[in-house]
Structure 1
Amino acid sequence: MPPKTLTKAEEQIMQVLWSVGKGFSRDILEALPQPKPHQNTVGTILKILQDKGFVGTNLVGRNHEYFALVSKEEYSKSSVKSLVKGYFDGSFSNMVSFFVKEKNLSVEELEKLLLQMKKQKK
């Protein structure tokens, strides 16, 4: 489980690393959408991500090559659990009910979820 949560800027950097696998700060900067942050900002965020335990580095010559230490799936799982705990009293059914009430989840999608859950029981 990831040690901490990510800010929006940190998550944006992690999305790039999860997508490309590994890269130097300039590669990460190039992969970010416009408006791009300053190179120093990317470096600072990468350092924070290292301190939080999300990113590791390899020294290649004089440059640091960055890679994710926490998988996207691991972080997603932790984030969803935190969301459910914080906003839905720890109940996944309360979360699903919320999305149904808000019309964000159709009957067809609910049926697909039920079918998926039935398959996993086997």
Structure 2
Amino acid sequence: MKPTDSEMEILQILWTEGQCSVRNVHERLDRKDVGYTTTLKLMQIMHDKGMVSRDSSTKTHVYKALLSKEQTQHQFLDKMIDAVYNGSTARLVMQALGTHRASKEEIDIIKAYLDNLENS
């Protein structure tokens, strides 16, 4: 299941914080044009979709992400590589490195990763 952009914002907060009330998530959202009730409704929908769990044992319901960050990133990346780069990982990497300046440390990490791939 692919989260919407708004759902991704909420998941990012839950992945960072571990678990949060709706109020905590709402206060951490970058978009201040969204009302509390909208955040509440989105989180209820995410619960219905099975993206988050909800502990309702206390007055303040606490939510926790059920989707793993790694799995969600993997799904988004696969879809983007297929849709935008016609399935070519090389095109994605060349575009990313050509558009965004990588630090020497990042380039060293990428080289080491490629060496490990080549040797496996």
TM-score (norm 2): 0.81
Pair 1:66–1:81, CA change in 2 (3 A)? same
Distance in 2 separating the partners of 1:17 and 1:96: 29
Give the drift of 1:57.
Answer: 0.9
> Which ranges in structure 1 are unaligned for 5 or more consecutive residues?
none
Tell me the residue number matched to 2:100: 104
Amino acid at match of 1:30: E
The Cα RMSD (Å) is: 2.4
Aligned length: 118
Question: Are positions 1:63 and 2:60 aligned together?
Answer: yes
Question: Are positions 1:72 and 2:69 aligned together?
Answer: yes
Deviations 1:19-53 (A, max 9, x none): 11111111211222352521110111102212332
The runs of at least 4 consecutive aligned structure 1 residues that moved more than 6 Å come to none
Deviations 1:47-92 (A, max 9, x none): 2212332111111223321000011111111111111011111110
Q: Which has the higher contact order (CA 8 A, sep 6+)?
A: 1
Percent of residue pairs bearing the same amino acid type:
23
Question: Are positions 1:85 and 2:82 aligned together?
Answer: yes
> Which ranges in structure 2 are unaligned for 5 or more consecutive residues?
none
